[in-house]
Chains A and B, each alone.
Chain A
Amino acid sequence: MRSETRIDPKLVEEILKFTRNVVDAPKLVAAPDEINLEVTPHEIAQVIDKTRLLHYKPLTDKQHKTPLLISYALINRYHILDIHPEKSWVRNLLEQGFDVYMLDWGSPTSMDKYLDFDDYVNGYLDSCVEFIKDETSTEKISLQGYCTGATIATAYTALHPENVKNFIATAPVIDGWRDTTVISNLAKHIDVEKMVNTIGNMPPEFMYYCFSVLKPFEQGIEKYVNFFKNIDNKKFVDNFLRVEKWLGDTPPIPGELFKQWIKDIYQDNLLIQNKMFVGGSHIDLKKIDMPLFTQVAVGDHLVSPECSMPLHYAVGSQDKTLRIYPTGHVGMIASSLSQKKVLPELGQWLSERS
């Protein structure tokens, strides 16, 4: 007796279509290198070493009085906050009438290996704040930090509260011991002293490794299967390639900064315990007494909500708001949800205080 396996012809058709899509992909889609990630018009307001301060051109006749400076993360580049006109964090804020500046940390090279937390907080970030104050004739600015950029902004705000009118912390890395992500598990076991002494800066390849252990099958296989499946969908493909290009552009992190980062935040967890020092100055989170808006995402697999939320309870601010969104780390800043929910809520909160 012969057993027969019946396969649905539609399944064969699907497989053949997928194969055709893979073959046709180069004809239909631009190469990531050909995509320009600089979406919203801006000028370079200031350059110090490899850092740049970008000033976006206004999109409204009237603007709120207090300018907003965004301190982007140390991982990847700032482009994710302006990844696509329809999903641009920056453009949305400009359309809500805010005067937006962005701090691009640039791509450090071997000679930057001695740059530390002090250089980033009291050097680069402070000089940007002072520049904006001078240029806009304001005494205080609004400061937003994203991910690791929010940790730097937290340290800055605690040390220089006189310069910050409103503080927005988006997925900040605050309480390393509470972080439930895979990243924190790796960070806790790394001999960071040996790494920095041996190779200097944290190499991008190490970061790519860290990315690869986050949902490896969804992000490493399914994502690309979906890309080829949707190769005819221009909108999907354009968005996919932009995010992929952004993901593939990870600059090194200066050695001394990385060392202090891993030790003080993930291994010894000094920041939330008010035991951290930057450039010899004590970081006391209670000194953050201006209005605070904390944004966290439930599905964040890079910075878990448990790691971010303690900031809300640790500061000295009376006027503070905590928002939790049903999305992920990138979804919170570059998705239709961020455009429809996250940004309007932030805009309303900020406009009432700007």
Chain B
Amino acid sequence: MNPQSPKEITDYYKHLSLFWTDLIHLMASKPQALTSTGPMRAFATSSKKIATELIEINEKLMEFNKFYTEYYKQLSDTWSVAQKKVNQKVPDVPHDVEQFEAFKRIWIDIFDNDFTELFDSEKFGENYGKLVSKELELTKHWTNISNVILQSANLPSKEEIDEVYKELHALKKRVTKLEIELKKKEDKK
């Protein structure tokens, strides 16, 4: 195989890495089982999950960087245009207090206007939405890695804690409903 495109290269290394982690995992699982006890056994069996997550993080990081670069490009382009407008409006360096105050006002007004226009634009909103989305995907991978570590220490994962929160929320709702019904019955008496 002779990978050419960036995707092919990523896929190749992903396969290569997974092949070896899989193989090492299979080869090592028996001695690991023999030598490890308690929580570390769980960590050993889950170590493949961490490797997979790290590979995927790498992929997501590339996509994240694409939107992150675009984010800073938009900010920097807007800054340049705004600065040019300021330079056109105030060609001379301010020499006294009044001139300085006028310069400050012009600078702030032009920059605020231009940046508000950017933040209000479709292109900014779209890129920002994608940037946050990629950041969340990275967070998700980090959570998955943390879950492996938590479970190896016999601690509940995020999903398990969420389940408890959900149950608590549902229970509270039921109790409130029952309390209201009880109050209505008492009021009727």
Residues of A whose CB lies within 8 Å of any CB of B are 5-8, 10-11, 14, 49, 110-111, 113-115, 119, 123, 180-182, 185-186, 188-191, 194-195, 198-200, 213, 215-218, 221-222
Contact = CB atoms under 8 A, between A and B. Distances in A.
B186 interface: no
Contact of B133 (A188, A194, A217, A222): A194
A181 B137 CA distance: 27
Interface of B: 93-97, 100, 104, 107-108, 111-112, 115-116, 119-122, 124-126, 128-129, 132-133, 136-137, 139-140, 143, 161-162, 165-166, 168-170, 172-173, 176
Contact of A186 (B116, B125, B165, B170): B125
A10 B97 contact: yes
Contacts of B111: 216-217
A191 B135 CA distance: 11
A217 B115 contact: yes
A198 B165 contact: no
Nearest to A126: B180
Contacts of B122: 185
Contacts of A180: 120
A283 to B, nearest CB: 19
Main secondary structure of the interface of A (DSSP, over half): helix
B95 A5 contact: yes
A198 B116 contact: no
Given A186-B128, A189-B126, A189-B128, A5 B97 contact: no
A115 B168 CA distance: 11
B139 A199 contact: yes
A199 B139 CA distance: 8
Given A5-B95, A11-B100, A217 B125 contact: no
Which of A5, A188, A198, A199 has the largest number of chain B CB atoms within 10 A?
A: A198
Contacts of A213: 115, 119
B182 to A, nearest CB: 14
Given A198-B136, A221-B108, A182 B165 contact: no
Nearest to B125: A189
Contact of A216 (B94, B112, B161): B112
B49 to A, nearest CB: 18
Contacts of B173: 119, 123
A119 B168 CA distance: 13
A8 B132 contact: no
B165 A113 contact: yes
A111 B170 CA distance: 12
Contacts of B132: 190-191, 195
A11 B125 contact: no
Nearest to A200: B162
18 contacts: A11-B95, A14-B97, A14-B100, A110-B161, A111-B165, A111-B168, A185-B124, A186-B119, A188-B125, A190-B129, A190-B132, A194-B133, A194-B137, A195-B132, A198-B139, A198-B140, A198-B143, A218-B112
